Amino acid sequence: MSDPSPTILPFPTTAGAEEDPVVITGVGMGASLGSNREQIWQALQCGHSGIRLTDEHDPVGTLRLPTGMVDWLEAEPGQLKSIQLSRHVASEAVEDARLDWSEVDRTRFACSISAQFGDIGYLYEPAELRDTSPSRPWWNQLLPCTATSMVANELQLFGPRLCHTTACASGLVSTIAAARMLQSGQADYALCGAADAVSELVIAAFHRMGVLSTGPTVASACRPFDRTRSGFVMGEGAAMMVLERRSNAMRRGARIYAEIAASQTLCQAHHVTGLDGDAHTLNYLIQRLVDRAGWTYRGPQYINAHGTGTQQNDRSELSAIRDGLGDLANDVLISSNKAVVGHLINAAGSLELAVTALALRDGYAPPTMHLQEPEPLGQLDCLPMQGVQTELDRALKLSLAFGGHLVGVALRRCPFEDFQRTPEPLHSQALIRDQGWTERRRAA
């Protein structure tokens, strides 16, 4: 029996963000492409890849697969790699926000970090050591909220703590939850994001599912929106952001990456891992998100897509973008970062939302690498092999997750120039499309 299409009812018009929108004032990132925000951002501009073949030193058993492994992080005994990554990028985000801690009420500083996978390393230890070894704390195995607890404890944040697990939508859900705590008055600041690391159990599960690409070459294994795509590659990394209300940021003279213009969560009542081929619900989510952001007649300029490189995801996502935006989709720029950093699972939405904020800051939509034969569905511009340098004011980030979770966040540049982040110059080797490309594409 086929799944019924969702009943789409007219939604109330809520154009325009709240009078005091939530803004991003600090960003921290770490992944296979680099250990900090600007390293990763410049690597994306240049089309560099952090994908390599796993080896015997990686926690993947005998599997040898293209994967975006983090090699720059020094292992700490008894510490999960995902928690190390969380602490690393949280520190960068908080420093980047340039907070004067003497003026911060730490009881009103929230922390919303997605759940991490448990530690299974004890399975490899001799049985007689499993109950006595101090090197593997039991909470790393039992408590999915260990990352948010450890980060908040380290930074002495006494406000609300949240921990969500919604598969690869977790990072965006954590951001939305943090923003809502600010909007409801429960907090004045929030640290939000996610981290993830590759483990043998998880990569083996995806491998058995048949969704991981094995090539034909390591460098181009993941090819989002390409007709020859064959699956995604896993990756490791993390991203955190500091959020606050715009009035608070302006009061303290902070510099703003972007404002959260709107957010939306829905679900597909379809399958645990499969997507609705007609993409009715995702279509509706995009329409709803654009309406709530107040962009009904102009739409987003850039979409950072989920773009996994699987047959099902890419077709569903492109179909929803085309149907959800209609003629507005003709001018939107779309790209996926997973081709070069891999799929960070729980942390994918966080890192890609941070990239979207940097795209607004610098006026640059990064390319979709390894895209040689674009999927013709919808005739959309997925930025094959070259980015576009242009002024960007409006962008969407989409996440499509196992379990049917659909999540979107709309970002816009701060309208007050004195409080905008100063754009950073693009890398000298940034991949930039020539100005006549769009006109030639339309003519064709």
pLDDT per position as a tens digit, 172-215: 999 999 999 999 999 999 999 999 999 888 898 889 988 999 88
pLDDT-based confidence at residue 136 (cuts at 50, 70, 90): low
* SS3 labels along 7-39: CCCCCCCCCCCCCCCEEEEEEEEEECCECCHHH
Whether residue 11 has pLDDT greater than 50: no
| Contacts for 389 with CB less than 8 Å, ≥ 6 apart | 363, 364, 426, 430, 432
The pLDDT value recorded for residue 14 is 40
pLDDT on residue 363: 98
pLDDT band, very low/low/confident/very high, at 71 (cuts 50, 70, 90)? very high
DSSP of 46-65: HT----EE--TTSSSTT---
Give every CB contact of residue 244 below 8 A, 6+ residues apart in sequence. 22, 23, 25, 182, 188, 189, 190, 254
Catalytic residues: 168, 306, 343
φ and ψ at residue 179, rounded to 5 degrees: -60, -40
Name the most confidently modeled range: 214-218, 227-231, 279-283, 367-371. 367-371
How much is the mean pLDDT over the chain?
88
Per-residue pLDDT, averaged over 117-139, amounts to 62
Angstrom distance (rounded) from CA 346 to CA 194: 6
Higher pLDDT, 436 or 245: 245
Which of 336, 387, 343 lies closest to 226, judged by CA?
336
CA nearest 70: which of 239, 222, 216?
A: 239
pLDDT, tens digit, for every residue of 379-424? 999 999 999 999 999 999 999 976 667 999 999 999 999 999 999 9
Q: Report d(CA 420, CA 410) in Å as an integer.
A: 17
**The whole model's pTM is what?**
0.91
The pLDDT assigned to 140 comes to: 64
Q: What local confidence, expressed as pLDDT, does residue 124 receive?
A: 62
**For 101-105, 147-151, 436-440, which range has the lowest pLDDT when averaged over its residues?**
436-440
Confidence band of 9 (pLDDT split at 50, 70, 90): very low
CA distances from 330 to 58, 192, 300, 378, 379 (A): 43, 33, 11, 9, 8
DSSP string, 364-424: EE--BTT--SB--GGG-B--BS-BEE----EEEEEEE-TTSEEEEEEEE--S-GGGBPPPP
Percent of the chain residues past pLDDT 90, beyond the cut: 69
Q: Closest by alpha carbon to 309, among 21, 61, 53, 68?
A: 68
Q: Whole-angstrom Cα distance, residue 83 to residue 203?
A: 18
pLDDT digits (tens, 9 = 90+) for 224-255: 999 999 999 999 999 999 999 999 999 999 99
Report the half-sphere exposure of 236 (CA within 13 A, side-chain side): 30
More confidently predicted of 91 and 199: 91
The answer to whether the CB of 341 falls within 8 A of the CB of 196 is no
Is the C-alpha dihedral spanning 341, 349, 216, 365 positive or negative?
negative
Tokens encoding 118: 């448990």
Domain 22-415 classification at class level? alpha beta
Tell me the C-alpha distance between 208 and 258, whole Å.
40
pLDDT at residue 50 greater than cutoff 70:
yes
State the sign of the Cα–Cα–Cα–Cα dihedral 208, 350, 38, 433: positive
DSSP element (H, E) containing 245: strand 237-245
Residue 444: pLDDT over 60: no
Q: Give yes or no for residue 141 having a pLDDT over 90.
A: no
What is the model's pLDDT at position 82? 92
Asked if residue 190 lies in contact with residue 143, where contact means CB atoms within 8 angstroms, the answer is no
Half-sphere exposure at residue 309, Cβ-oriented, CA atoms within 13 angstroms: 31
In the chain, what are the domain boundaries? 22-415
Question: Predicted confidence band at 378 (pLDDT cuts at 50, 70, 90)?
Answer: confident
- CB neighbour list of residue 75: distance below 8 Å, 6 or more residues apart: 81, 84
CB atoms within 10 A of CB 358: 24
